Chains A and B, each alone.
Chain A
Amino acid sequence: MSEVIATNQTILVVGGGIAGMTAALEAAECGKQVILVEKNPSVGGRVGQLYKYFPKLCHPKCGLEINLRRMKANRNLRLLTMTEVTAVTGEAGNYQVSLRTQPRYVTENCTACGECARAVEAEFDNEHNFGLGKRKGAYLPYSLAYPMRYVLDPRIIGTDDATRAKEACKYDAIDLDMQPQETQITVGAIIWATGWRPYDAARIQPYGYDRFANVITSVEFERMADPHGPTGGKLLRPSDGKEAKNVAFIQCAGSRDRNHLKHCSRICCMATLKQTTYLRDKYGDDFKASVYYIDIRAIDRIDDFYQKVRADENVSFIKSKVASITEDRETGNPVLNGVDTEGYHRYSNPHDLVVLAIGMEPSVPAGEFPVDVVLNEEGFVQQDEANGAFFAAGCSSDALDVNRAVQNATASALRAIQVVNRVAGTEV
């Protein structure tokens, strides 16, 4: 890695998902020096795992490609992948930040020709697909991965596979001796955009995510719907690989619940509405979607998307917090038990597949931040003067959809610019 140059007029952005990319690009396009660190081998974050966006049903990769183009074209922006922040000291306008970069074992010589992947035999769970399906021990994380450079899974280092990968590479791009690298930099402001992770569904015990094969999460369903995902776009029951046509969606799975996440995760209602359109796209009239909900939160102008889905006769809405899920042993069907609060009717409904509209929780739990920071009870970073020039962007600040994450990231970029301009004493 070439030397990282940063000063107290540099803005550090932590996290290369849509919020971090946006904050970094917006600041860089204002002429600021920006370092963007991402802990994974490529940028894109959760957005790279989505098949479609609500409500336009367009493809996230389209906007991602534009952002990658912006990134490639901008010399003010330096991207460090496989890198995490380990410590932060100092104050607004003058932070010392320690970074740790994990070895990729693949250098900038890589042309992404793919020979190493062909040579390697070992396979691992594909994290891009939430463990559905496998990938090789030498891999490109996904089709739009940037940097467009392969990565070796550390688990093959020291095995014959590593040697095979190295021998297959004609460009001397594989360096098996690469070590973790520590870097110290000085920056003026920090934008924290580490995003969210799906709540651990197994902890919602009555829903049996850890016991019933045909209870999955919304993020897994999303990967399944993607024609380039683990099932080639087929919506299959994990138990027997049959097509799932009668699908239940359980809203607020983990959200708005004192035992789990107190907050509303905001995106899950729209995500479910979107996912019912996947069923219609695949099966035409031959499907049934049942949405078990408390409130449908299709907020603001995009409420019309809800109206459209509501008009679909194959989609029904049941106002109910599902009490429990059991399994019909014979068919493998999950059976949802609860009370439809509209008129108080008890139900016991079998479905082919249950999708838990899983809540979002901050990726970085309270107590694991590299610096003292004011959080709210839910673990999101507060806008607080005590945080100095440490600004949250995107889902580090609240449960947000993409549009609001971008909006918030753009605002955070300005807050960081205000600090570095003060440091520079810029007179416009």
Chain B
Amino acid sequence: MSEAKIGAYICKGCGLGDRLDTSQLVTIAEREGKAAIAREHDFLCSEAGVQMIRDDIANEGVNRVVIAACSRRAKTDAFDFDGVCINRTNLREGVIWVRPDTDEDRETTQEMAADYVRMGCAEIKHMNPPTPNEKTDASSRILVVGGGISGMTAALEAARAGYPVTLVEKSGQLGGVAAELVKRVPERAPYADPEDTGVAALAAEIEANELIEVCLNSTLARTSGAPGCFSADIATESGTTRTENFGAIIQASGFKPYDASQLPELGYGKTPDVVDQMGLEALVRAAGDGPVKRPSDGKEVERVLFVQCAGQRSQKEGHLPYCSGHCCLTSIKQAMYFKDRNRDIDTEILYTDLRTPGAPGEDFYRSGQQKGITFVKGVVEDVASSGNGAKVKYKDIILDETIERDVDLVVLATGMVPNSGVDIEAVSAPNVEGAEDDAGDNGGDSVEIPVESILNLTYRQGKDIPQLKYGFTDSHFICFPYESRRTGIYATGPVRRPMDMMSAIEDATGAALKAIQAVENAKLGRAAHPRSGDLSFPSFRKEGCTQCKRCTVECPFGAIDEDEQRYPQFNESRCRRCGTCMGACPVRVISFENYSVDTVGQQIKNVDIPDEFDEKPRILVLACENDAYPALDMAAQSGQQYSQWARVIPVRCLGSVNTIWVTDALNSGYDGVVLMGCQKGENYQCHFVKGSEMAHYRMSKIDDTLSQLNLEKERVATYEVAITDIERAPGLINEMAETIDKIGMSPFKF
């Protein structure tokens, strides 16, 4: 890398020229910011303005560009230069739009702008353009774990895009639960009749596809590595093991049907004539084209009752608290097994909310009604049996009376239990505080694990993908449903969320895309979501590292392992570039090329701190660049104002905030520090899942530092801020200004 040469460009457009003394800003960029070139322009984002910058890059060797104009969120098309570092010093949304245009404010507005120019130059001085770390030897092969509908679909769809696939299935055949079904809920209009499951056709297509290798009776004994270079030991039942490399992994480990023997209150176990949905599939299969017979005595079934939400949507101990999504449609399909054989068979579906969504669902429901299936809104009170058939007592909610029925067969619509392997966070909750003390103990490995792992990852944070809720491995399940917390490993199908076959097929196709994307990103050394395309990656200075393991414990994505000497091992393509490791490091040895303790620390340091008697406080605001920072931008856009004492620095994630920034700021005379991250906890909105939580945890310890410095604890405030907090975010800054007004200026001004 050639020596840094800073070009600073001050825009005079959008009122900047009227409100600010831009020539003074040029001087500051030159003298204090050490810019080799500093220029003003009337309209920097115009073709002429952009060309001026391009020329300086081409002819003057400028490789660090400071654009002092509008927010980094605006005019991104115009200010897009290759091979240089870019800083967007925000004078428009960050200064003139949030300050009143009055004579008395002119001085402080100018000071704000001047500080931001100093900060911009300071940041860029410590930035290097990230070099793409291309991996030409990255594997393109995709590993699919699980050979049910989801896994088979994922394998085939990836192969159709030209990617080789290895499909590992624990059992001796493909098809999973779907292979045990007689028919499936229809996927094609007019959605009137059960359809062939398609399992055989899918399996045949997989076998015929040259790009797909199928390993039956196989499991993963060990999985290590990172996107582009996963290494998996595939162990067969017969005891042989082979190791293969993969670019990405799709986990389609599916579900287990809920154990109906936990439902004696619904008659399961009292008579063989109470079955679950899978039990009914077996009965119908056994019947072939003939009549379905009840298991107890082989009598032809004339009356069958389906009980929806059996052991589901229930807070009772041992029950599933959620809805499994498919069971209403499945029961309609199963009632049709009877109706399509003989219209006179009495089929009754007992439900509380019938859930048949969309066009396919509603059409199928309607078809069921037309075929004469009876739907009753009701709740079972008792199921009794003297051996053959069952006497069911239920409350009909519509008629408001209790009804007793003798039926030949009761079918319990029980739910799906995800097959998600080890709940690594339950096995070994990340122990932030004790991270330094548990030397020798390698995470969850020493704890006895009752559940079989699916992936057997060698990752420091545990063997499987972290779970979100009820054992499902979901993550940002609304906006970014595929993003697990293990880069390059995508969960799909009912292991991710309860779903029917139609959804599982869609889901698996999407997961195949994400796996392909992970492979392509790894080849180019680019980050995956949400900093897609980011080429920077963390490195650490080994000499300074104390092997404390905080970074390996706190990484929300389990990207960092430890080597034999317990130094961190950064797995670049597993890294999402949030910087939580950098924030965690007590000795500050972790950095990215373009984002480091220095790039932020030097900005903090280069703010001009007027002396105590000037009564011009300084408030450092560290704001999450995804939510809080845009909120401040939009506040500016809508005419909100905030304190002239604030100096806002966007951070990749609040998790990347190293407490040194806060203590340094306080030591050097800042009067207050405001941290703005995203919502943490169960309904977290942090794009890096745990970043904000980690930051809040770290900042909860800052009081000690403050008391050591003899400073009031009100001087540091940490908030959860949403992108829509357009009034609140500026309000929080103003609150800090008022607090300082009350408690007085910091005594640390030199």
Are the C-beta atoms of B363 and A413 separated by less than 8 Å? no
Q: How many A-B residue pairs have CB under 8 A?
A: 250
- Give the secondary structure class of A's interface: loop
Mark each residue of chain B from 72 to 95: 1 if its CB lies under 8 Å from any CB of chain A, else 0: 011111100000000000000000
Q: Is B385 an interface residue (CB 8 A)?
A: no
Is there a chain A Cβ closer than 8 Å to B189's Cβ? yes
For A297, the closest partner residue in chain B by CB is B355
A-B contact pairs, 11 of them (CB 8 A): A26-B513, A61-B724, A69-B626, A73-B76, A113-B14, A170-B43, A227-B724, A264-B357, A299-B323, A407-B510, A428-B140
Query: Are the C-beta atoms of B45 and A111 separated by less than 8 Å?
Result: yes
Using Cβ atoms and an 8 Å threshold, which residues of chain A touch B13? 111, 113, 170-171
The chain A residue with its CB closest to the CB of B627 is A62
Q: Which residues of B contact A143 (CB under 8 A)?
A: 634, 637-638, 726
Across the interface, name the chain A residue whose C-beta is closest to B509: A411
* Residues in B neighbouring A324, C-beta threshold 8 A: none
Cβ contacts B464-496/A at 8 Å (1 or 0 each): 000001101010111111100000000000000
Give the contacts of B487-530 with A (CB-CB under 8 A). 497-499, 503, 506-507, 509-510, 512-514, 516-517, 520-521, 529-530
Q: Please, which residues of chain B bring their CB within 8 A of the CB of A5?
A: none
Which residues of chain B are within 8 angstroms of A364 by Cβ–Cβ distance?
none
Choose among B359, B397, B521 the residue that contacts A263 (Cβ–Cβ < 8 A): B359
Q: Pick the contact of B481 from A148, A382, A407, A418 — CB < 8 Å?
A: A407
A148-B74 contact, Cβ under 8 Å, with A61-B723, A65-B626: yes
* Chain A nearest Cβ from B193, distance in angstroms: 15
Per the CB 8 Å criterion, the residue count for chain A at the interface is 83
B21 part of interface (Cβ distance < 8 Å): no
Question: For the complex, is A237 an interface residue (Cβ under 8 Å from B)?
Answer: no
Q: Please name the residue on chain A nearest to B519 by beta carbon.
A: A428
* Residue positions of A touching B, CB distance < 8 A: 18, 25-26, 29-31, 53, 56-63, 65-67, 69-70, 72-74, 108-109, 111-114, 143-144, 148, 170-171, 227-228, 256, 262-264, 266, 295-304, 307, 319, 341-344, 376-378, 380, 382, 398-400, 402-404, 406-411, 413-415, 417-418, 421, 426-428
Q: B360 contacts the other chain (Cβ, under 8 Å)? A: yes
Q: Determine if A421 and B162 form an interchain contact, defined as CB atoms under 8 angstroms apart.
A: yes
- B517→A26 contact, CB < 8 A: yes
User: Distance (Å) between the CB of B509 and the closest chain A CB?
Assistant: 4
Interface centre among A301, A341, A380 (most CB of B within 10 A): A301
Indicate which residue in B76, B163, B358 contacts A400 across the interface (CB closer than 8 Å): B358
Given contacts A113-B14, A143-B638, contact A65 B509 (CB under 8 A): no
Contact B355 A299 (CB under 8 A): yes
The residue of chain B having its C-beta at the shortest distance from the C-beta of A255 within the complex is B362
Q: Which 4 A-B pairs have the closest CB atoms?
A: A63-B479, A410-B510, A411-B509, A414-B513
Residues of B within 8 Å of A303, CB to CB, are 313, 321-323
Most buried by B among A59, A228, A256, A299: A299
Given the known interface contacts A30-B513, A70-B532, A301-B472, the answer about A341 and B398 at a Cβ–Cβ threshold of 8 Å is yes
Residues of chain B touching chain A, judged by Cβ–Cβ distance below 8 Å, are 13-15, 43, 45-46, 70, 73-78, 140, 157, 160-164, 188-191, 313, 315, 321-325, 351, 353-363, 366, 377, 397-398, 400, 469-470, 472, 474, 476-482, 497-499, 503, 506-507, 509-510, 512-514, 516-517, 520-521, 529-530, 532-533, 626-627, 630, 634, 637-638, 678-679, 683, 685, 687, 722-724, 726-727
Q: Is the Cβ of B189 less than 8 Å from the Cβ of A266?
A: no
- Interfacial chain A residues near B15, Cβ < 8 Å: 113
Q: Is the CB of A301 within 8 A of B685?
A: no
Instruction: Evaluate whether A414 and B161 lie within 8 angstroms (CB atoms) in the complex, with A58-B685, A228-B724, A342-B398 already known.
Output: yes
Q: Are A56 and B478 in contact (CB under 8 A)?
A: yes
Closest to A409 in B: B510
CB distance from B109 to the nearest CB of A (A): 17
| Given A58-B685, A300-B325, A418-B161: A72 in contact with B507 (beta carbons within 8 A) | no
B355 close to A295 (CB less than 8 A): yes
Taking a contact as CB atoms under 8 Å apart, the answer to whether A399 and B357 are in contact is yes
A63, A66, A144, A307: the one within 8 Å of B634 (CB): A144
- B322 & A296 in contact (Cβ 8 Å cutoff): no
CB of B359 within 8 A of CB of A58, answer no
Whether A264 contacts B685 in the complex (CB less than 8 A), given A300-B497, A301-B470, A304-B321, comes out as no
How would you classify the secondary structure of chain B's contact residues: helix, strand, loop or mixed? loop
CB distance from A407 to the nearest CB of B (A): 5
A263 touches B513 (CB 8 A): no
Q: In the bound complex, do residue A406 and residue B498 qualify as a contact, i.e. CB atoms below 8 Å apart?
A: no
Q: Which residues of A contact B470 (CB under 8 A)?
A: 301
Report whether B359 and A410 are in contact in the complex, using a CB–CB cutoff of 8 Å: no
Select which of B162, B357, B687 is within 8 A of A266 by beta carbon: B357
Cα A426 to Cα B161 with chains together (Å): 9
Q: Given the known inter-chain contacts A73-B532, A171-B43, please indicate yes or no for A407 contacting B507, CB distance below 8 A.
A: yes
Please determine whether B322 and A377 come into contact, CB atoms closer than 8 angstroms: no
Q: Complex: how many Å from CA A70 to CA B480?
A: 13
What is the CB-to-nearest-CB distance from B402 to chain A, in angstroms, rounded to a whole number? 13
Partner of A299 from B325, B476, B516 at Cβ < 8 Å: B325
Q: Of all chain B residues, which has the CB nearest A413?
A: B513
Given contacts A30-B520, A111-B13, A414-B161, contact A59 B722 (CB under 8 A): yes
Known: A56-B683, A62-B627. A377 touches B359 (CB 8 A): yes
Q: Is the CB of B322 within 8 A of A304?
A: yes
Residue of A with least CB distance to B323: A303
A63 to B529, CA, bound (A): 12
**Minimal Cβ-Cβ distance residue in A for B678:** A62
Q: How far is the CB of A366 from chain B (nearest CB, A)?
A: 13
Determine the residue in chain A with the shortest Cβ distance to B629: A65
In the complex, how many angstroms separate the beta carbon of A144 from the nearest chain B beta carbon? 7
Q: Which residues of B contact A74 (CB under 8 A)?
A: 532-533
> In the bound complex, do residue A342 and residue B313 qualify as a contact, i.e. CB atoms below 8 Å apart?
no
Report B-chain residues with C-beta under 8 Å of the C-beta of A417: 161, 513, 516
A109 to B516, CA, bound (A): 38
The residues of B that contact A109 with a CB separation of less than 8 Å are 45-46
